[in-house]
Structure formats: structure tokens, C-alpha cells
Chains A and B, each alone.
Chain A
Amino acid sequence: MTGSNSAAGQGPEAEETGNSGKPSRRSLLGWSGAGLALGAAAGGGAVALVQDGEQAAPAAESGAAVDFHGPHQAGIATPVQDRLHFAAFDVKTGDRAEFVQLLKDWTAAAARMTAGHAVGEGAYGGLAEAPPDDTGEALGLPPSRLTLTLGFGPSLFAKFGLTDRRPKALVDLPKFPGDNLDPARGGGDLCVQACADDPQVAVHAVRNLARIGFGKVAVRWSQLGFGKTSSTTPSAQTPRNLMGFKDGTRNIAGTDTARLAEHVWARAGDGAPWMAGGSYLVARRIRMNIETWDRTSLQEQEDVFGRDKGEGAAVGKAREHEEPFLKAMKPDAHVRLAHPDSNDGATLLRRGYSFTDGTDGLGRLEAGLFFLAYQRDVRTGFIPVQRRLARADALNEYIQHVSSAVFAVPPGVREPGDWWGRTLFTADRRD
């Protein structure tokens, strides 16, 4: 957000451009930025972005921009936005230089789009004979807290002779009991997580990156998410999933630098120095048997989760954020099994979204949770937790994991000129 104030004070007449050079989504930011400052002063729901232990400018419930640059990629500790478009790509080129150029082109486009600008030379006003650089559907929309987060899948490393740089923490996930995975909807050499408060802004971002990537990468699968199911802002209410429950109430807060450092950010000494400041992402498409769940008695629903449905409090507790007493719960209750105390302290930063992709042809909602979790090491993060859940979770009767992917999310793009994945692809391999 720094630098965006240059647009503050511009009248709304600046809004109608927003094509290439001229700010429009950014000029809106001037306005919302003012509202933000007020919100922060009032001590309301304003939240802070964490930047290497320091508090950066606030980005809260508005159309503001989230800073693209920083030691960590935005879209992890960033307060969770309302909407998601997640896309996984296959790499189609074997030419390392060409791929690196794509990462640079993507970085430039991402920096523009997250700031509320159109990509390249904009969506109109260019050569009449050529298709415009930008596809145009985000013109006039505010930045909507768009974040774009890039990850590298395990299959990427062999494609560019980088097998020796594949982090040990980036393991192929084992098969868990109950998995019914569609390979066409899982995996991928690359991923882009686009989160924004406006779905059109998120979709625009993925669409334009895919377009820039044609010939070098191809979309393998993608997923839209419409409702956040986790919060990284502790003061906020934990959102409910499609089962009507709050889950993940003890999620890591984006402001909790100590827990982020302990559980989310990879360190140079963890085994892959190029990943320092990065993280590891597990994505799982979890289909819910919505209709059978809805026919389940309230008592059983609450027993399955280990919480009450209204407040979200753990069994025997009155408030959502009260520390649960795990032994009061049934042995197969979801909260009990997923709790760090049941998993040697394993803690994930969850950032999942609900999805509904219409119906499944049998009149049932094709719906569920698109689970996204960031962690410092998949081996001590997702895997032990999911092993326990897959084996015993009472929830398994109502859910099925239908796609799966894992990615190494490199550190942030530090400043203009830096690019996504530089630490992996630069020549110096001793770093």
C-alpha cells in the first residue's frame, strides 16, 4: 500500500480510465484508503499486514490494495479475502530461459493487477489490429485486496534439472484412507492462488496470467471459492463452512509473528535455503455429502465436530475462543483429532474456501471445502494431522477428499525488479 497515497485526493473523475498508465482502480484506493485510516483510528476491525515483524500499512475490509512486494508472498498471512480463484498449471516448455522469462512477465503483471492496474498496455486504446493486452473485465473495479501467490509443485523440479533443489519438506503426499482423488483435478507444476474481495478481480487475474502463459504453461485445473472458511484475523468471527460450523478457530493470526515464524515460514536452515521466507501449501478439494449431513440430528452434528453449532464453542465451553478440553469430546470428534495437542503440536495456517460447482447430475450439490493450508514443513504439518483424521474422524462419513496438490511457495518478491522464483532459478546454487 505504500506509494498508493499518491492517488489519494484525486477526484472520482480519475476512475473512468484505469487502463494502462492512468490509475483508476488505484484512484479509488485513494478514497477507500481515507476510510481505512479512519477505521484504524477508531480501533475497529482494521487489521495489520505483517511484514517481517513490523506492522505495515493496514489493509482491511475495503477495496484497497495489498502490497505485492515483501519478504513473504502476500496471500498467506494477509487477512483472508472473500473470494478465491485457484489455478494449477502444467509447464509446457523445456527451455529454462523461456520459463524464467515467463516468471518475470507474470511478476510484472501481478504487480500491476494487485495494484489495480490493467496488464501491459491496457484493455483498450491500443493498436486496432491487435487484441488488447488486458482482457478488460476488471476495468473500473477497485484492487479488492487482490493477492497473487505462486507455488512450485514437486513435478517442476525435474523438468528444469533442479531435482537437487527440491526441498525435503515438499514431499509427495501419501495416500490417505478414504482418498478418492481425480488426478486430472490435482497436482500441477505450478499454482497461482488469487484471492480478492471481488470474484471478478480474482478471475481476471488468473485469466490474464493464463493468457500470458500460453505456449509456456497450460492450465491443468482450477477452482473457484466463494466463501472463506478460515480467518487470519483473530478478532474477527470465524466464518462457517458449508456444514454450518465454525472450524479452525485457533487458526494462526496474520499478526502473530511468533507462531508464523514457528509454523508457517520456512527458514534457510530448514534444508532448502532458497525457500527462506517461503512456505508449503497443501490444497485439497473436499467434497461434502451435503444432503446426508443436512439430515443428521443436531446432536450428532455437534458430536462430529466437538463444538456447539450456534456459538462454535468446544464441548463444555461457553465461547468459541475458549481453550477446548479435548477429553470431554468423543474420541472421533473432528476438533479433538485435528487439535495440535493431538498431533505433537502440528499447526497449520488454514485459508480454505467453500465451493459449489453446481450440481452433480444426481441432484446433489457438488459442494464442499477447498482446503488450503500453509505450513513450514508438510511432513510435520498436514501429513500427521490428516493421517489421524483420515483414520478416525467422525466427519469422514460426510466428506471425501477428491483432489490433492502440494506446492513450495517461494519467498516474496522483495522489490520492483525482483521476480517470483528468483532464489530457485538464479545461477548461484550455494545460497
Chain B
Amino acid sequence: MRPVRLSVVTAAATAAALAAVTGCTEKSDAKGGEHTVEVAASDSACELSKKEFPAGHVELDVENKGSKVTEVYLLFPDDRIVTERENIGPGTRQKVTAEVKAGSYTIACKPGMKGEGIRQKVTATGEGAAKRDPRLDKAVAAYRTYAQEQADQTLPKVKVFTDAVRAGDLDAAKKAYAASRIGWERTEPVAESFGDIDPKVDVREDGLEKGQDPEKDWTGWHRLERALWQDKKIGAREKQLATQLDKDLADWQQRVGKAVITPSSMANGAKELLDEVATGKVTGEEERYSHTDLVDFKANVEGAETSYVLLKPVASENDPKLTKELDKQFAALDTLLDKYRSEQGGYAFTAYDKVGKADRKELSDAVNALAEPLSKLAAAVVTKK
């Protein structure tokens, strides 16, 4: 999970194919190319050099001619963020790049970085990323199926958990808790790309925003986790929250199929899953009451590995050294995690509060060893080394 306020950024990072931003280097060849849209942003206008560009790689060359700090967004028709750049100071230039399919989009400049912004409709023409390696299209399709399967398989497991909560059966609910989260944790970046579901189902207490009341506004798995392990009681509110969780996750199941998935979002998603492990699981913050962190840990790694395996045919051609290293580090981390598994192939892991400091350090080192090369997978998918 991520704190609520980050969910928009997360959505951008995942949904945007190549939501990467280059520095302010001047590249003369970039000027005026058919893939470049010059954006002249001022305090009252957002002028575009063109409103049509070919689908595929697009670069917004933004110049802030106004007096206020501005930000620029490329948005899907439903206002999901394709890519964005914040904090563009007066008199500075920034480039924002993305990979877009054919269709309508909106470019919005937000002088003063607030409000709806000054909006212009633009169109990406043609076949989109049609020149893409067909193996990558296959990888995306296979990953989409995987994400859908995970959601489909998760719902019944969630129901076992929420039924137990509704029945007031503390022990049964505790037993079903971790398993109900596996499918979600495997594909979390996809779920997070919707922005609104993650804060409802997977937020931790410290992720609540100022002004939100934990008793009223905190929903989802971790609120129930606290009730089961810390408060040790199930009341009317918990039963209500269980039903809410079913509903919110049904929404997720409905929407997974519509998620924007690209080869680079798959690669970045794999890296993000390891980021999740590094920031939330290795520290024991994610499951602070149930201490089932290692189940999430394992699921995150499995999800990352699935993306990787699907992208490997292309990545191994472009950067064989990288895929060799990734094979090695995935295997090493899997082997290390097996040490904490009660039975092979099962999802019962040592409670994380029983994992000592030295062992946590070893896990953290193994995560770093994998995440560092994994951060280079997106580049290996799109470019030959």
C-alpha cells in the first residue's frame, strides 16, 4: 500500500507508459520534430505548437513563460494521468515524455500548480505503438490475463475472510486474512493505477491524511487487521467494513481488464513491487499487527517475477547481462524466502516479529540486490544496449 496522498502519483507512474522525465538538457534535434509538442505555458495561457501528433513516443517541450511555478499534465479522456511534470519554475524549460496510443488526450497547464488548469484537447493519430515488437504485445496480453486471474481468484478468498468477520469469528478471520491479500499484492501496481481503490482497501493508519478520522475514514484490510490482532474484537463497524471491502474489491475485479498496461509499465511495476518490499515489508510496517509481512513479501516478488518472465524474451536479447543477473537474483531471493516458509509451495511464513535484526538485514540486502538490476529492466525492454 501507499499513503493516500501518493495514489495519484502512483497512478501516473504506472499508467503512463514511459512516465519518465528527462532533465533540462537542450537537444536541437528535438525541436519541432513530429513527436514533439512545444508547450508555451504562461500565467493565463497554455499554447501548443500542434494539437495532433503521431501515436507512439511523444515529447512535451515545456517552457514556462509566466511568473508562477507551473505544472503540465498529459491526461487520458477520463482524467487519468498519462504523465506529468510538477514544479516548472518561471523561465525554465522541462521535457516530459510518454508513450501514447492513438486517441484523444488533454494537455493541461496549471499555473500556480492548482485548480483544473488551462486545458487543450489533443489527438494522437495513427496506429499507435503499432511498430512494437509483437512479442511485447503478447507479454502485455499475458500480463493482463494474469492480473485478471489474480483478481478473480482473490475475490472468493476475500469472501472467506469477510464471512468470518461478519460471523464474528476472530480466529477464522485471522486465519483467512493473509491469504486474502496475495492476489492483490502480486498485482498491486495495476490496482494502484486506478488511484481510488488502493486508499480504500490497503491504506495503513499512518497513510491517512490530516483531518481524516481513523475511526470513521479508515477502511480496508489494515483497519480490520488492527481490529483482529490489536483490539481483538469484532463489532458492528468491522462487519460493515468487511462488506465494504468485498464491494471495493469487486470494483477492482471489474476494472482490472481496463487498466492501461504497456511493456514499460510492466517493467516499472515489477520494480515498484520491489520498492513496496523495500519500504514496507522489510521494515515490518505493512502488517504491523498481524506480522504476516512475509506473505505480502512473497506475493510482491511473485508478481514482479511474472512481469519479468513475460518480458524476458525481449529483454534478454537487448541486454543479456542484465537478464542473467536478474535470473540469479530472483532465484537467490526466492531461496532466501523459502527459509521462512513452513511448507514448500505454501503461504505460511514465519511471523515477521520473530525475524531478528540480522535476518532482516539479510532480506534487505537480497531485496537491494534484485531491485537495483530490476530498475534497468524497462530500459532493456525498449532499447537495445
B373 and A129 within 8 A (CB): no
How many angstroms from the CA of A431 to the CA of B365 in the assembled complex?
Answer: 36
Residues of A within 8 A of B375 (CB): 130-131
How many angstroms from the CA of A305 to the CA of B16 in the assembled complex?
Answer: 64
A128 in contact with B376 given A215-B325, A215-B369 (CB within 8 Å): no
A112 → B minimal CB distance (Å): 19
B372 and A214 within 8 A (CB): yes
Indicate which residue in B23, B368, B379 contacts A129 across the interface (CB closer than 8 Å): B379
A394 → B minimal CB distance (Å): 36
Residues of A within 8 A of B335 (CB): none
Residues of B within 8 A of A125 (CB): 22-23, 25
Indicate which residue in B372, B378, B383 contacts A211 across the interface (CB closer than 8 Å): B372
How many angstroms from the CA of A364 to the CA of B273 in the assembled complex?
Answer: 40
Quick one: which of A113-136 are within 8 Å of B by CB?
A: 123-125, 127-131
- Residue of chain A at shortest CB distance from B358: A184
Residues of B within 8 A of A90 (CB): 365
Residues of A within 8 A of B368 (CB): 214-215, 218
- Residue of chain B at shortest CB distance from A212: B372
How many angstroms from the CA of A131 to the CA of B23 in the assembled complex?
Answer: 12
- Give the bracket for the number of chain A residues in contact with chain B: 10 to 19
A129 and B383 within 8 A (CB): yes
A220 → B minimal CB distance (Å): 8
- CB of A391 closer than 8 Å to a CB of B: no
How many angstroms from the CA of A19 to the CA of B369 in the assembled complex?
Answer: 26
Residues of A within 8 A of B370 (CB): 215
- CB of A92 closer than 8 Å to a CB of B: yes
Quick one: which of A204-219 are within 8 Å of B by CB?
A: 211, 214-215, 218
B379 and A214 within 8 A (CB): no
- Residue of chain B at shortest CB distance from A95: B328
A13 → B minimal CB distance (Å): 14
- CB of B219 closer than 8 Å to a CB of A: no
B329 and A215 within 8 A (CB): yes
How many angstroms from the CA of A127 to the CA of B375 in the assembled complex?
Answer: 12
Quick one: which of A125-181 are within 8 Å of B by CB?
A: 125, 127-131
Quick one: which of B234-254 are within 8 Å of A by CB?
A: none
A344 → B minimal CB distance (Å): 40
A128 and B372 within 8 A (CB): no
A129 and B18 within 8 A (CB): yes
Residues of A within 8 A of B365 (CB): 90, 92, 218
Residues of A within 8 A of B373 (CB): 214-215
Quick one: which of A181-229 are within 8 Å of B by CB?
A: 184, 211, 214-215, 218
How many angstroms from the CA of A129 to the CA of B21 in the assembled complex?
Answer: 9
A124 and B25 within 8 A (CB): yes
How many angstroms from the CA of A131 to the CA of B365 in the assembled complex?
Answer: 20
B22 and A124 within 8 A (CB): yes
B22 and A131 within 8 A (CB): no
- CB of B357 closer than 8 Å to a CB of A: yes
A128 in contact with B20 given A215-B325, A215-B329 (CB within 8 Å): yes
Per-position 1/0 for B311-327, Cβ under 8 A of A: 00000000000000100
Quick one: which of B346-368 are within 8 Å of A by CB?
A: 357-358, 361, 365, 368
B22 and A129 within 8 A (CB): no
B369 and A129 within 8 A (CB): no
How many angstroms from the CA of A33 to the CA of B368 in the assembled complex?
Answer: 40
B376 and A131 within 8 A (CB): yes
B272 → A minimal CB distance (Å): 13
How many angstroms from the CA of A215 to the CA of B368 in the assembled complex?
Answer: 7
A129 and B25 within 8 A (CB): no
- CB of B154 closer than 8 Å to a CB of A: no
How many angstroms from the CA of A427 to the CA of B18 in the assembled complex?
Answer: 46
A1 → B minimal CB distance (Å): 29
B23 and A130 within 8 A (CB): no
B370 → A minimal CB distance (Å): 8
- CB of B45 closer than 8 Å to a CB of A: no
- CB of B382 closer than 8 Å to a CB of A: yes
Residues of B within 8 A of A184 (CB): 357-358
B344 → A minimal CB distance (Å): 25
Residues of B within 8 A of A215 (CB): 325, 329, 368-370, 372-373
B85 → A minimal CB distance (Å): 12
B25 and A127 within 8 A (CB): no
A124 in contact with B329 given A211-B372, A214-B372 (CB within 8 Å): no
How many angstroms from the CA of A184 to the CA of B361 in the assembled complex?
Answer: 10
B378 and A130 within 8 A (CB): yes
A130 in contact with B376 given A124-B22, A125-B23 (CB within 8 Å): yes
Per-position 1/0 for B20-34, Cβ under 8 A of A: 111101000000000
How many angstroms from the CA of A311 to the CA of B41 in the assembled complex?
Answer: 63
Residues of A within 8 A of B300 (CB): none
- CB of B187 closer than 8 Å to a CB of A: no
B21 and A128 within 8 A (CB): yes
- CB of B97 closer than 8 Å to a CB of A: yes
- Residue of chain B at shortest CB distance from A183: B358
Residues of B within 8 A of A127 (CB): 379, 383
How many angstroms from the CA of A131 to the CA of B268 in the assembled complex?
Answer: 11
Residues of B within 8 A of A129 (CB): 18, 20, 264, 378-379, 381-383
How many angstroms from the CA of A189 to the CA of B101 in the assembled complex?
Answer: 51
CB pairs A–B below 8 angstroms (10 shown) = A92-B369, A128-B22, A128-B97, A129-B18, A129-B378, A129-B381, A131-B375, A184-B358, A214-B369, A218-B365
Smallest CB-CB A-B distances: 5 pairs: A124-B23, A130-B379, A215-B369, A214-B372, A218-B365
- B-contacting residues of A (Cβ < 8 Å)? 90, 92, 123-125, 127-131, 184, 211, 214-215, 218
12 extra interface residue pairs, beta carbon distance < 8 Å, beyond A129-B20, A129-B381, A215-B373: A123-B23, A127-B379, A128-B21, A129-B18, A129-B264, A129-B383, A214-B371, A214-B372, A214-B373, A215-B370, A215-B372, A218-B368
